[in-house]
Structure 1
Amino acid sequence: MPFRYLGVPVQPTRLTKQECSIRIEKMVSKIRNLGARKLSYAELKPFVITICGMEALNFIVSLLLPGVLLRSQNKRGGLGIKKADIWNIATVAKLAYWIYSKADRLWVRWVHQVYLEGSDWNSYKPPQDVSWTWKNICKVKDIMSTGYINGQWQHHEKGYTIRSGYEWLRAKDTKKPWYNQVWNQMNIPKHSLITWMAMNKGMNVKDKLFKIGCCQDDKCLLCDLYPETVDHLFFDCPYSRQIIRKVETWCESKIPFQNAMLRCSRKKGSTLKRKMIAMILNACYYQVCHQRNSVRVNQVMDSPEIVLKKIKEECWSRIKGKILFPVVGKDEKWMDRLMVR
């Protein structure tokens, strides 16, 4: 049946990896075009989400092949972009829910008449000679079965929704221990983005670029002594350490270098103080990255004293916009000392 319905190829057999790769190439080419390359990370995010939304129907029709999902580089998850494999399962689960609830749809009636024939959907097992699509729907039904109690979806008051299914599936993934500190509501968004990239080792540091032949050496741009890796840039570089030491003096708090975000969450003190320390640490990461880029582009680097001044200005501007209630007790005294310094 060589035709399409709503842009999706209709055929009796499953789509091959080669057939799916055509759609992937179209998505990737749109993201990698000349206009998209000029966008910042903040501008690129809604651009990617829009393109992925255009292909959402393919995720609803059937489970895509693992090789196809791995090639969907723009759907790996993070920064509000849904993770492709989990999103695919959550969307197909909507079809299984319609079958269970006997939704008023022609294809649902046909399924109950031809496949189920009065059988219980919860315990139904597909025979071997049925279509690949029907087997996928049954497979997803088994995956989502623990989310139901007495036939009722437990994670949304109005029954199953794709969003609630996606959140339920995603909750099974192990959350990074530094998640709450990186995406702390007190943080400046652009600072959180840089920290998120650093924690995921996703920055284009010279050690990585040197290995693929994009630069002549791998020496750190800030100290010119050691190879520039993510850990060195933010934790071991003498320039970065000077900034951290000055910030420690300013905020009267010891900031550990290694696993800083993880240990920051374990520090004693009020919730407000921990959030503010995390915000200051994110600002440090951002300023280190900013100075590194300044050296690469303009061969100019600010002194640690000037960097500390920038961190203070950005953090206090954020605090004034976020803390809309009176601070009392030890937090008030601590914040008063920060303002004086």
Structure 2
Amino acid sequence: MVNIGDFWHVKSKAGDSWLWKQLIKSRDYAVNLLGGVENLKNLISSCYVNSKVRLSALYNALKPGSKVDRHDTVWEKLNYPKHSFIMWLAIQDKLLTQDRLHKRGIIQSNQCLLCEGAVAESRNHLFFDCNFSNCVWNGIMEWLKFKLRGKGSKQRIKRLALTATIYNIWRERNARIFKEEFRSVEQLIKAIKVDTWTILLNSSLPDEAYNWLL
């Protein structure tokens, strides 16, 4: 018997049953699609209703032809899968922000640790209203000249930076809560730029796209 705690990392063996091999294969597909085990766990958690997983919600989230999958920004091909996944959860308001945890009675207080003010954390506050997040957004928008119109490669780069920003703000929030690690606005902007450039340097975009970003 396989310990259920090992399910996320166990590998199938030659003597295993066909059913078990298919289960492991499905797990690996979902992990690769979402960019990691933790992302898959978060997705499954977001599909719980009254302590039971809504299989229809899980299926719709994973199937290639779902409505959200076709959203150009969320599922831009340049994006890291983990960036797209966090972006998808943010749009659906499925991230386990403190306001949701507080309503469930999991935590006793709710305070945004990014702006360090007496403001409750919610999806909208965390990504849009928080002073810290606003400074990050302003830095990225200035970098990419968001006031200028752009099509084709320029638009794809903006989508890439958008999802990278959402992901890094969420990651910074988690680091402050769970690890007590803090980065400045400037450090977070630099991390987003590094993520964006890392993807671009491994892509096949035309040279004019790199020249524009430089």
TM-score by length of 2: 0.71
Work out whether 1:194 is the aligned partner of 2:86: yes
Deviations 1:59-92 (A, max 9, x none): xxxxxxxxxxxx762342344347xxxxxxxxxx
Distance 1:178 1:253, change over 3 A: farther
1:338 is aligned to 213
2:102 is aligned to 210
Tell me which of 323, 335, 339 is aligned to 2:204.
323
Equivalent-residue separation in structure 1 for 2:76 and 2:25 (angstroms): 19
1:79-94 counterparts in 2 under 5 A?
79-81=61-63
Q: Does structure 2 retain, via aligned residues, the 8 Å contact 1:48–1:74? A: no
1:51-66 counterparts in 2 under 5 A?
none
Q: Does structure 1 retain, via aligned residues, the 8 Å contact 2:68–2:88? A: no
Equivalent-residue separation in structure 1 for 2:116 and 2:7 (angstroms): 33
Unaligned runs of 5+ in 1: 1-29, 51-70, 83-166, 255-266
Q: Does structure 2 retain, via aligned residues, the 8 Å contact 1:198–1:230? A: yes
Equivalent-residue separation in structure 1 for 2:9 and 2:123 (angstroms): 24
Q: Does structure 2 retain, via aligned residues, the 8 Å contact 1:187–1:282? A: yes
Aligned positions, number = 176
Equivalent-residue separation in structure 2 for 1:45 and 1:288 (angstroms): 32
2:27 is aligned to 47
Deviations 1:90-145 (A, max 9, x none): xxxxxxxxxxxxxxxxxxxxxxxxxxxxxxxxxxxxxxxxxxxxxxxxxxxxxxxx
Structure number with bigger Rg: 1
2:169 is aligned to 288
Tell me which of 237, 240, 243 is aligned to 2:133.
240
Distance 1:78 1:275, change over 3 A: farther
Higher relative contact order (CA 8 A, sep 6+): 2
Quote the offset at 1:248 in angstroms.
1.1
Q: Which amino acid aligns with 1:273?
A: K
Q: Does structure 1 retain, via aligned residues, the 8 Å contact 2:168–2:188? A: yes
TM-score by length of 1: 0.46
1:17 is aligned to none
Quote the offset at 1:49 in angstroms.
6.6
Distance 1:48 1:316, change over 3 A: closer
Cα root mean square deviation, aligned: 3.0
Quote the offset at 1:232 in angstroms.
1.0
1:314 is aligned to 195
